[in-house]
A and B are shown apart, each in its own frame.
Chain A
Amino acid sequence: MAERKEVDARGMACPGPLIALISALKTVEVGDEVEVLSTDRGSNKDIATWLNKAGHQLVESEQLADHIRFLVRKLR
């Protein structure tokens, strides 16, 4: 069964949340999910661009009151 790992990158400046996501994806299995919380607006572009390049799936992204939540699935 797929597992989900949470990465709380709130407060990190660009490119901290993206680097935290990359580091987390290295530690999970294909099919697992990583949830990233970020307060950096640049993460919208950074994370989407990297996922497209690296071939992983952005399952959902959500703008919450004071941060953005990304849910990513490792595909390869």
Chain B
Amino acid sequence: MTTRILIVGGGLAGTIVANGLCRQLGRELAKGAVNITMLGADERHLYQPGLLYIPFGRMREAELFREQRKVLSHHVYFHVDPATAIDVDGRTVTTASGKEYGYDYLVLATGSRITPEEVPGMAEGAHWFYDLAGARRLREALGVFTGGRIVVNVNVPHKCPVAPIEVTFMLHDFLKERGLWDKTELTYTYPIGRLHGLEPVANWAQPEMDRLGIKYETFFNAESVDPNARTVTSMEGSTLPYDLLITIPPHKGAQVIENSGLGKGGWVATDKKTLHRVGSNNVFVVGDTTDIPISKAGSTAHFEADTLVDNLVSLIQEGCMAREYDGKVFCFIEAGLNRGTYVWFNYQVPPNPVPPSRMVHWFKLAYNRMYWLSARGLM
């Protein structure tokens, strides 16, 4: 009897799970006792954190992509055929091509997406770097920027929670290198009463922004953008004029999750330790798809995936779960174009940013290339 593992989603989380399983289940896969199938939406695998560097010309587009088929172990049956309906009671997933896949274990790794259309005027009036098209447009806009008012506007929920701070500090250095800093007013806005959701990160960022002359406004939740007047107005009643608006748009989970009744907004109710979908003992959730109240970040997905791999392997080989996810997250934070810091934390230990250094920045640059080892389950 073959145990069928079906992974929905071919991003970072799903890929690490697939490759991690293959590394530990070689004997079962060879015997045909286990079958691993992945349903993805794209032939190419995108290294999403690299998008941050595109507007500044610090990474080439080709560096962000690999063929997903080559990233995955040859044991994985990979189909570019995204799921359109997930029936956890009937244990089946239907795809865009009309095929139906059964499973014994289901891994939901459908990720998240930006939804600038949720804020009137944002799609027309703002730039962003959370997808390749947006990063290219921002690169063009920065290329012709000669000074003026830049607003970095953060909305919730969003993934990669330190990226807004990183892009702000990188902008400072970029404009300074170009001799434009003295002609620029840079304002960072954040939805809650401090500069970051993680209080220690906010406490680190505020004096850094003060020192560099970066302005900020808290309790700013974008309600509308007026592309003609070039203003962004908040739910709190504040209006900021801009020459260049860089937004971190609000995010949603995958439509298929919502359409299948698995979670409002595309977020699936998930046990924060076992990563089970709440109410299912054979459905697991990893990466941005969960509703766990921690950062939606690549490293979160990575550490969750590591835990899930151990648990699935243990369930198949030993009939029991192996361990719990402890909430571990590790994020590099670029503090400019040449300095970086990092935070790590879990459910018990709060983050504590270290003083920025060139060495941490270089390590982040190195990780940008080592990522492909992570995706293959080697690191």
The closest CB in chain B to the CB of A12 belongs to B293
Count of chain A residues near B, Cβ 8 A: 19
Name A56's closest neighbour in chain B (CB-CB). B235
> Could you say which residues of chain A place their CB within 8 Å of the CB of B199?
14
A55-B237 CB under 8 A given contacts A22-B156, A50-B193:
yes
Show 27 A/B contacts (Cβ-Cβ < 8 Å), sorted by A. A11-B272, A12-B293, A14-B199, A15-B192, A15-B197, A16-B293, A19-B156, A19-B191, A19-B192, A22-B156, A22-B235, A23-B156, A25-B235, A46-B192, A46-B193, A49-B193, A49-B219, A50-B193, A53-B219, A54-B219, A54-B221, A54-B235, A54-B236, A54-B237, A55-B236, A55-B237, A76-B237
Residue of A nearest to B157 (CB): A19
Indicate with 1 or 0, residue by residue over A38-54, a CB within 8 angstroms of chain B CB atoms: 00000000100110011
Minimal Cβ-Cβ distance residue in A for B236: A54
Within 8 A of B (CB), among A1-52: 11-16, 18-19, 22-23, 25-26, 46, 49-50
B235 touches A23 (CB 8 A): no
Chain B residues, CB < 8 A from A14: 199
Q: In the bound complex, what is the Cα–Cα distance between A46 and B192 (angstroms)?
A: 8
> Closest Cβ of chain A: how far from B206's Cβ, in Å?
16
In the complex, are the beta carbons of B293 and A50 less than 8 A apart?
no
| Least Cβ–Cβ distance between A75 and chain B, in angstroms | 11
A39 to chain B, nearest CB (A): 11
Does B236 contact A53, Cβ atoms closer than 8 Å? Answer: yes
Per the bound structure, the CA–CA distance linking A12 and B327 in Å amounts to: 13
Q: How far is the CB of A40 from chain B (nearest CB, A)?
A: 9
Interfacial chain A residues near B191, Cβ < 8 Å: 19, 22
* Measured CA separation A26–B294 after assembly (Å): 22
Query: Closest residue to A9 on the B side, CB-wise?
Result: B293
Tell me if B's interface is mostly helix, strand, loop or mixed. Answer: loop
* Residue among A49, A53, A76 facing the most chain B CB atoms (10 A cut-off): A53
Identify the closest chain A residue to B238 (Cβ).
A53
Q: What's the least CB distance linking B290 to chain A, in Å?
A: 13
Residues of chain A touching chain B, judged by Cβ–Cβ distance below 8 Å, are: 11-16, 18-19, 22-23, 25-26, 46, 49-50, 53-55, 76
In the assembled complex, how far is the CB of residue B346 from the closest CB belonging to chain A, in whole angstroms? 12
List 9 tightest A-B contacts by C-beta distance, closest first. Answer: A12-B293, A16-B293, A54-B236, A15-B192, A53-B219, A19-B156, A53-B236, A15-B197, A13-B293
What does the 1/0 interface line of B95-119 toward A look like (CB < 8 Å)? 0000000000000000000000010
Instruction: Determine how close the nearest CB of chain B comes to the CB of A31; give it in whole angstroms.
Output: 16
Give 1 or 0 for each of B117-152: 1 = CB within 8 Å of chain A CB: 010000000000000000000000000000000000
Q: Which single residue of chain A is at the shortest CB-CB distance from B347?
A: A13
A19 to B192, CA, bound (A): 8
Residues of A close to B293: CB separation below 8 A: 11-13, 16
CA distance A2 to B191 in the complex (A): 26
Residues of B within 8 A of A19 (CB): 156-157, 191-192, 197
A55 neighbours in B (Cβ, 8 Å): 236-237
For the complex, what is the distance from the CA of A15 to the CA of B293, rounded to whole Å?
A: 9
In the assembled complex, the Cα of A10 lies from the Cα of B293 at a distance in Å of: 10
Instruction: Write the nearest CB–CB distance from A47 to chain B, whole angstroms.
Output: 10
List B148-164 residues whose CB lies under 8 Å from chain A: 156-157
Report chain A residues within 8 Å CB of B156.
19, 22-23
- Pair A22/B193 contact, Cβ less than 8 Å: no
Q: Which of B118, B197, B221, B294 contacts A22 (CB 8 A)?
A: B221
Apart from the given pairs A46-B193, A50-B236, 18 other A-B contacts in the complex at a CB distance below 8 Å: A11-B293, A12-B293, A13-B293, A14-B199, A15-B192, A18-B192, A19-B192, A19-B197, A22-B156, A22-B221, A23-B157, A25-B235, A26-B118, A26-B235, A53-B236, A54-B219, A54-B236, A55-B237
Tell me how far the C-beta of B162 lies from the nearest C-beta in chain A, rounded to whole angstroms: 15
Specify which of B157, B192, B199, B293 lies most central, judged by the most chain A CB atoms within 10 Å of its CB: B293
Q: With the chains together, A75 CA to B118 CA distance in Å?
A: 21
